[in-house]
Every structure is written in C-alpha cells, then in structure tokens.
C-alpha cells in the first residue's frame, strides 16, 4: 500500500493511490493511510484565504510573509485549548509561480503552520469570482438570480450579468473544493485532528472529507446569511449543497434566523426534521446527529486595544477632532458592494438635513467605503449612484468650510479607522442584508477607550456611544440598545439619525454600557471556544459507535402468507369523513384504503403543514374513535387507523407458526422495517426466536432502515441499501449451504461498499423505492 507523508512539500495527487483497495479501506474505517507523526489533538482550520500576508522581496527574489493581524480567523486561536495546535489550510492572496510553490509551501508549513492551496488562475476565476461572488453570494444575501428571457452572451456571463446558473462554474467550484480536500489529506491525522471548515466558498469540502474518513470530526461555520427556503430553492444544486453540509458533525450560524432557514430547507427538500434536546438542536442524517450551533462571532479585544494604544492613532484622533470641531459626526464604514446600502444611508442623511434644518452646518456624515472585492455592472452602477448622491448633498447643503458628506473610497489603515470610531457621535449601518458586520462592535470598544490611557479630556469621563443599525444584519439581535431601522424606509431612518444625535447624554451612556458589557465578554475567543467545545461534544462517540453496512444471504423462496382479521368495520364510516376533511385542506395528501385499515399519507404535502395536520388529525381521530376497538398511530408521513391487536409482529409470528405446521421450520429469519410500527415486529420476532417455532439455532437479523434508536440490532442507511442488500441476497443464493453463506457474509459486514462509482455531493446515492 502506498502511503503519503503527513506533510508534503509537493501537492499530492489522489491518483497515485490504489483506487480500489485504499479507497475502500479509507471509507470503511477512520484509520487512514496517512501515518501520524505527532501526538495530541489538533484543529485544522480550512479557509478560502489564509490569514497570511505575502509580498515579494524588494530584490524580486523570494517572498516575505507575515500574519494578517486584521484577520479574525487568525484570532480564533485564542479560544482553542493550549494543548490543541491550530493548523491552517487555505489559499494565498498572491500569485505564486508554479516553480516557487514548493518552497513557499515549506516556508509556510514550517514557520506559520499553514498549508497553502494553489489554484490555477482560470480555475480561481470560475470558482471564486463567477460561482462564489456572482452566484452564491447574492443568492445567500436573498437576491434572486433574475435573468432576461434571452440567453446572455458570453461577455455578459463573464461579467457576472444575466444571473443564470452556470453548470461549468459549479463544476469549477467542486473541483476547487477538491484541491482544498487534497491539501487537507496531505496534513491530516484523522484519529487526532478536528477539521473546522469556514464559509460558503468551501461547502463541497465536507463530502470529500467524509467519503475519505468516515469518522472524521468535522465542523462548519457559515459567515454569511442563509436565505429562506423560498429563495434557496431556486439553486439548481440545492439538495447537493444541503447534503454536503450535513456531512459535518456541527454546523454554525450567526443567528437563529439563518439556522431556522437552513432547517426549513432540510425539512422541505430532504424531509429531515430537527429535534431540540436540552438546548441543543440536531438533525438525524445517515445515523449521525448533526448539531446546529447558533453563535454570533465577536471581535478581538486585544488587537483593537493594541491599536488604540498606538501613538499614530492618538495623533490621528487629535487631527480629526480639530477637523470636525463643533460638528456631530455620523460614521459609516462599509465594504463597497450591492448589499451594504450605502446610498440608502446617504438618502436618509439628506432627508434628515431637510426635515431638521438645525443640523445643516452642524452634522457631518463620514462614509468610509472599502474597495470592492467583486466586479460587475451592478456594482459599477451602485458606485456611480453613490458618487452622484455625495455630490448632490454637498452641492445643496454645503457651506464655506463645511461639507456635509465626507466620502473616503480607499483602503483605510486600522489606526485611521479606529481614530474615526473614537471621534464619531454615532455609527450608522444600513446594509440591506449582511452576515454579521462587526463595525458596531469595533465602534463600541473604541468609544470605551483604554482604561488608564492618556486621552482627550472629553474621553476621560463617562463613556457614551450611539448606533443606528439595519434590522437585516447579523449583529442586530445582540445590540438591544441600538436604534434598529428598515433601511428601505428612508424617512424612518432619517428620524432615527436625528434621534441618535439628539439623545440625552445619560441615555447614550446607559446604552453604551449595556453594549460594551456584551461585546467585551463575547469576543472572538469566546466564539471559537464555544464552537470547539460543542464540536467535541458532538463527536464524543465517534470512535465508540459501530458504523457498519450489512449483508446477508438467503437460499430459499417462500410464497407470501396473508393473515386476515374478521371484525366489525363500522369504525371506517366514522374515521373516513375525518380523514377526508384533512385531505381536502392539505394539498398533496391522500387516503389509502386497505381491507382492514385506513392510512392517510402526507409525504407529498408541504413538510411543515403536513406534519402539523397529521398531529391535529391524530388528536381528532383518537377523540372520535375513543370507544371503538381500533388503534390510531402516526408513522413516517402517515396516520393509520387499524383494528386493535393486529400488528406486524403478530402477523410475522403467525407466518412462522404456519411454516412449522407444514413441517418447514424457518432456519433463517430476516425482518426489515423503517417505521415506528415496525418496532412491534422487532420485539415480537425476538421473543418468537426463543420458542420452538423456528429451527434450532436459526439466526435472526432484525434490521431498521436509517440509523436511529431501535429494537433492531442492525441497520441499513436507506432504501438504496435495502434493494442492494436484497440483490446481493439473490446473487449469493447459489453459493452454497446457508451456514456457509452466513459465515462468508458475516466476515464482510463491516467492509461492504455499496457503490464503486464516486458519490454524488452529500455522499448520498439515488434512492430506489
């Protein structure tokens, strides 16, 4: 067997491995073909871009690397236990020629504990700029992919216009994720390491990892919003993305709204319902409980306070205080993109100056617009609109020595940015949709200042700050003292700006104190510590839990036996009208009439509404049929009414008894079920095996479908595996006596691989009925 070293300086290729033997071994066991060279647990953080800055040496020979001190992902190390090493995997924000990539890799691994992923420029263009930034990112920010009736030209598609799903861009996304996976494989020790994947750029990565190491401990955190199901369902690869995320053990979101939307998508598109137990939310998926974590990210207090102490910052503060002396400064700090609502902020400020003329000549809006990271015609239009608004406002309300809008569209160093925070009376965030947005948190810390530091006299007294924030950003729920606005309502936002800068000093102090207590205790270290602890909890049983496929053989045919039950079926005339009532009210539901039972099906109805209707119907039927000799039970997408005493377990026992009466005792028993009603069968059949109804030492294989608490000893993952197992049963029936067949299959129980072909995203295969 070929082996790959734990750390390689040359990118490894999976094609070098024996695909048949190694892949099967890797998918059926946590032990990988990567030898361990270090003891102890390690956290591998996989990000699109490493928290490392790279620049060419002045002489053009080689590279100089340094940590990106502004990267919060770098600061998550502060919340990780001291004994756990943090190792980063991601791409560099620099074009490194192929001839230099080996040397750069080794330098970063040795000096920074970072393994760089190098993507070809054309692949990165289609992966990042086309699929991530021009398709996924707008969709996750609730922007539907509108398209013109005519197919867009190649030039329009390349510019990100047209809005239609590009299958080749999706394939580039998956291929790029595979490159990240290959780099992880080079460095991972799956028995000791945890993997924490970050953001929407790498949503396909968990599938590759789970396929290779089926008990690997994987976490994922989404730093953007997750849209509602009505928006998300427009994604052509919607199920693939959901399934690949569900290959994680823990999935994190900033807010409950984002988590709720994800859970709703899982329910509506995959039929998966979540459960809440002792404050933890979980989804059952292929025998694993996938945890859902809700935890807004925080800032790094130490890094901010370090900049606040710098002489450069103090110097800039003094300069700005002189520049804006006597003015009420409102501040906006935003990335330049189509969702930050910068122009809405300008329109609200303009409206405030009109509605409250007292602020003309006294209020200034400083807008810092960081350079855009994307490109496209929509972004160009937004930039042009912002410039026109700035010029119009300054032309109408400007005076000698006074410009109401100061627009800064360049990279602003952290010292200068924090200086603006320090002197600002109010920070305004009017994003129409944003994942988290930590601008308000940074502002609060800057207004608090550094205890004991030499600062301006006006900052030495009680601290105060004011916030006007959009209700559509992730940090809004945690800022209870902020004035929340709908940025689309220009007049209401204008009034909020006036209220913020007109508020009493005491009220500003109270609100600031409340915010600072939260921000200072819920920093990035708190966030990462909480996530890692929950990831450890979610994975604590990984190495104790038996994850087995199942394979059995049976070399005999037998005719179906039916068991009839004669009774008074007058109850059907009472139950059917009730069921009809709910069927008429629930699109997609229907009634199945059997000889002795009525079954209401709702698998084709809206998942949430169907489930709610099923609960209502259950209560209704139990009330109506309280005095009838029937049982009313709910199952997987069904509500069933049947005579009391008729269960699958009793029927199975009767069939086995009839076989004995015919002199053909069963010498092999297999029962499979996927429903709550099958648990009676599993329990009854176990009791039957202890009696003299079947042949001595006849084996029993009770098997549930789906890994879940059950009275059955074995399980199959899904209906595909049921069909596959039955096919294997038929194929193996000519191999020999039943005992030899059992022995042969028993030895392969833990290593059966259902399919030889690569899995679809989400590690899920086409279902068979």
Query: What pLDDT, on the 0 to 100 scale, is given for residue 151?
Result: 38
**757 is a domain residue:** no
d(CA 595, CA 577): 17
d(CA 342, CA 337): 9
- 270 and 221 inside one domain: yes
Across the range 664-685, mean pLDDT stands at 81
Q: Which helix (H) or strand (E) holds 506?
A: helix 505-521
Last residue of a domain, one of 294, 309, 338: 294
- 580 and 480 inside one domain: no
Query: What pLDDT, on the 0 to 100 scale, is given for residue 16?
Result: 32
What's the CA dihedral at 70, 88, 544, 262 to 10 degrees? 50
- 232 and 121 inside one domain: yes
> What is the number of other CB atoms lying within 10 angstroms of the CB of residue 328?
17
- 340 and 285 inside one domain: no
Q: Report strand pairing: 598-601 vs 638-643.
A: antiparallel
- 697 and 634 inside one domain: no
Q: Please give the sequence-ordered ranges of beta strands (E in DSSP) within 159-302, or none if there are none.
A: 193-198, 217-221, 250-253, 274-277, 280-285, 288-294
The predicted-structure confidence for 258-282, as pLDDT tens digits, reads as follows: 999 999 999 999 988 888 877 788 9
Last residue of a domain, one of 643, 667, 700: 643
Across the range 291-309, mean pLDDT stands at 92
d(CA 387, CA 381): 10
Across the range 24-38, mean pLDDT stands at 34
pLDDT over threshold 80, residue 603: yes
- CA 580 vs. chain centroid, Å, equals 39
The predicted-structure confidence for 381-427, as pLDDT tens digits, reads as follows: 999 999 999 999 999 999 999 999 999 999 999 999 999 999 999 99
Q: Which comes out higher in pLDDT, residue 37 or 487?
A: 487
- CA 337 vs. chain centroid, Å, equals 23
Q: Can you say whether residue 762 is alpha, beta or left, with left for phi > 0 and alpha for psi between -120 and 50 degrees?
A: left
Domain at 99, CATH number:
3.40.50.2000
For the record, the structure tokens of 86 come out as: 């943090």
For the record, the structure tokens of 700 come out as: 């029993």
Q: Which comes out higher in pLDDT, residue 101 or 731?
A: 101
Q: Which helix (H) or strand (E) holds 688?
A: helix 678-689
Q: What does the DSSP assignment read for 649-684?
A: HHHHHHHHHHHHHTT---S-EEEEE-STTHHHHHHH
The pLDDT confidence band at residue 734, using thresholds 50, 70 and 90, is low
Most confident of 9-23, 33-47, 238-252, 281-295: 238-252
Q: What domain count does the chain have?
A: 4
For the record, the structure tokens of 381 come out as: 């239009």
Q: Which comes out higher in pLDDT, residue 724 or 447?
A: 447
**752 is a domain residue:** no
**744 is a domain residue:** no
d(CA 284, CA 705): 13
Query: What pLDDT, on the 0 to 100 scale, is given for residue 534?
Result: 94
Question: By the 8 A CB rule, do 679 and 653 touch?
Answer: no
pLDDT over threshold 90, residue 462: no
- 407 and 495 inside one domain: yes
d(CA 630, CA 748): 44
Across the range 559-575, mean pLDDT stands at 67
- 609 and 477 inside one domain: no
Question: By the 8 A CB rule, do 752 and 551 touch?
Answer: yes
d(CA 363, CA 351): 13
**710 is a domain residue:** yes
**34 is a domain residue:** no
> What is the number of other CB atoms lying within 10 angstroms of the CB of residue 33?
17
- 175 and 96 inside one domain: yes
**548 is a domain residue:** no
Question: By the 8 A CB rule, do 434 and 472 touch?
Answer: yes
Q: Give the domain extent around 574.
A: 569-643
- 247 and 110 inside one domain: yes
Question: By the 8 A CB rule, do 205 and 197 touch?
Answer: yes
d(CA 384, CA 365): 18
Q: Can you say whether residue 334 is alpha, beta or left, with left for phi > 0 and alpha for psi between -120 and 50 degrees?
A: beta
Average pLDDT for the chain: 82
Domain at 613, CATH number:
3.30.70.1020
Last residue of a domain, one of 294, 327, 351: 294
Collapsing DSSP to helix, strand or coil, 631 comes out as strand
- 248 and 189 inside one domain: yes
**468 is a domain residue:** yes
- What separation in angstroms does the CA of 558 have from each of 665, 737, 739? 12, 17, 19
- The contacts found for 269-274 with CB under 8 angstroms, 24 or more apart, are 269/229, 269/233, 269/238, 269/239, 269/242, 270/239, 270/242, 270/243, 270/246, 271/603, 271/607, 271/637, 272/246, 273/607, 273/611
- Partner residues linked to 484 by β-bridges: 469
Determine phi and psi for 27, rounding to 5 degrees.
-80, -15
Across the range 84-88, mean pLDDT stands at 95
Query: Which residues have CB under 8 Å from 311's CB, separation 6+?
Result: none
pLDDT over threshold 50, residue 767: no
**18 is a domain residue:** no
Collapsing DSSP to helix, strand or coil, 365 comes out as strand
Query: What pLDDT, on the 0 to 100 scale, is given for residue 636?
Result: 80
Q: Which among 640, 623, 573, 594 has a CA at the least distance from the CA of 631?
A: 640
- 99 and 201 inside one domain: yes
Query: What pLDDT, on the 0 to 100 scale, is given for residue 231?
Result: 94
- 401 and 475 inside one domain: yes
The predicted-structure confidence for 615-666, as pLDDT tens digits, reads as follows: 999 999 999 998 888 889 888 889 999 888 777 777 788 888 888 888 888 8
């Amino acid at each position: 067997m070929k082996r790959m070293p734990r750390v390689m300086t040359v990118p490894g290729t999976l094609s070098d491995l024996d695909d048949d033997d190694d892949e099967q071994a890797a998918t059926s066991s946590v032990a990988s073909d990567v030898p361990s060279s270090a003891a102890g647990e390690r956290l591998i953080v996989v990000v699109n871009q490493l928290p490392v800055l790279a620049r060419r040496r002045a002489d053009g020979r080689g590279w100089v690397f340094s940590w990106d001190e502004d990267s919060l992902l770098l600061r998550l190390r502060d919340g990780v236990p001291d004994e756990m090493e943090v190792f980063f995997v991601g791409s560099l924000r620099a074009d490194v020629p192929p001839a230099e990539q080996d040397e750069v890799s080794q330098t970063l691994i040795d000096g920074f504990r970072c393994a760089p992923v190098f993507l070809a420029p054309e692949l990165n263009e289609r992966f990042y700029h086309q699929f991530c930034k021009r398709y996924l990112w707008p969709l996750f920010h609730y922007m539907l992919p509108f398209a013109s009736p005519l197919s867009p030209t190649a030039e329009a598609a390349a510019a990100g216009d047209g809005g239609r799903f590009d299958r080749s861009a999706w394939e580039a996304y998956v291929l790029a994720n595979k490159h990240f996976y290959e780099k992880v494989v080079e460095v991972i020790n799956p028995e000791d390491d945890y993997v924490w994947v970050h953001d929407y750029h790498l949503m396909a990565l968990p599938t590759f990892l789970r396929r290779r190491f089926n008990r690997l401990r994987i976490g994922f955190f989404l730093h953007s919003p997750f849209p509602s199901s009505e928006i998300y369902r427009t994604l052509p690869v919607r199920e693939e993305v959901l399934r690949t995320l569900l290959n994680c053990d823990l999935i994190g979101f900033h807010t409950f709204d984002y988590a709720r939307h994800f859970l709703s998508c899982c329910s509506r598109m995959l039929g998966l319902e979540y459960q809440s137990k002792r404050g933890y939310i979980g989804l059952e998926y292929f025998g694993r409980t996938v945890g859902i974590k809700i935890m807004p990210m925080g800032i790094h207090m130490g890094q901010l306070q370090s900049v606040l102490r710098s002489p450069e910052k103090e110097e800039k503060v003094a300069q700005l205080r002189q520049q804006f002396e006597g003015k009420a400064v409102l501040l906006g700090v935003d990335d330049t993109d189509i969702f930050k609502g910068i122009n809405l902020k300008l329109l609200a400020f303009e409206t405030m100056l009109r509605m409250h003329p007292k602020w003309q000549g006294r209020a200034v809006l400083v807008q810092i617009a960081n350079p855009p990271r994307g490109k496209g015609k929509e972004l160009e239009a937004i930039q042009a609109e912002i410039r026109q608004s700035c010029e119009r406002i300054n032309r109408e309300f400007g005076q000698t020595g006074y410009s109401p809008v100061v627009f800064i569209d360049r990279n602003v160093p952290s010292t200068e940015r924090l200086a603006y925070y320090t002197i600002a009376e109010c920070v305004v965030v009017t994003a129409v949709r944003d994942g988290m947005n930590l601008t308000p948190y940074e502002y609060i810390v800057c207004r608090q200042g550094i205890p004991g530091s030499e600062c301006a006299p006006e900052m030495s007294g009680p601290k105060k700050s004011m916030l006007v924030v959009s209700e559509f950003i992730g940090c809004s729920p945690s800022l209870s003292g902020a004035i929340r606005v709908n940025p689309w309502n220009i007049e209401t936002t204008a009034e909020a700006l006036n209220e913020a800068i007109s508020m009493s000093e005491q009220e500003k102090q109270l609100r600031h104190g409340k915010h600072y207590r939260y921000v200072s205790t819920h920093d990035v270290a708190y966030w990462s510590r909480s996530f890692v602890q929950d990831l450890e909890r979610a994975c604590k049983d990984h190495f104790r839990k038996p994850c087995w496929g199942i394979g059995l053989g049976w070399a005999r045919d037998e005719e179906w036996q039916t068991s009839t039950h004669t009774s008074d079926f007058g109850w059907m005339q009472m139950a059917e009208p009730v069921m009809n009532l709910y069927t008429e009210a629930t699109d997609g539901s229907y009634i199945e009439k059997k000889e002795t039972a009525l079954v209401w099906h709702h698998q084709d109805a809206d998942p949430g509404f169907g489930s709610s209707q099923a609960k209502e119907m259950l209560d209704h039927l139990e009330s109506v049929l309280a005095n009838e000799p029937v049982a009313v039970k709910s199952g997987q997408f069904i509500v069933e009414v049947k005579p009391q005493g008729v269960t699958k377990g009793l029927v199975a026992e009767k069939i086995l008894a009839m076989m004995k009466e015919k002199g053909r005792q069963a010498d092999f028993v297999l029962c499979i079920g996927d429903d709550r009603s099958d648990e009676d069968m599993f329990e009854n059949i176990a009791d039957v095996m202890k009696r003299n109804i079947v042949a001595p030492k006849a084996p029993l294989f009770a098997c549930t479908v789906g890994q879940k608490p059950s009275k059955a000893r074995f399980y199959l993952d899904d209906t595909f595996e049921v069909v596959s197992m039955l096919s294997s049963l038929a194929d193996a029936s000519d191999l020999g006596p039943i005992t030899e067949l059992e022995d042969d299959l028993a030895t392969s129980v833990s290593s059966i691989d259902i399919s030889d072909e690569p899995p679809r995203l989400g590690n899920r295969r086409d279902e068979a009925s």
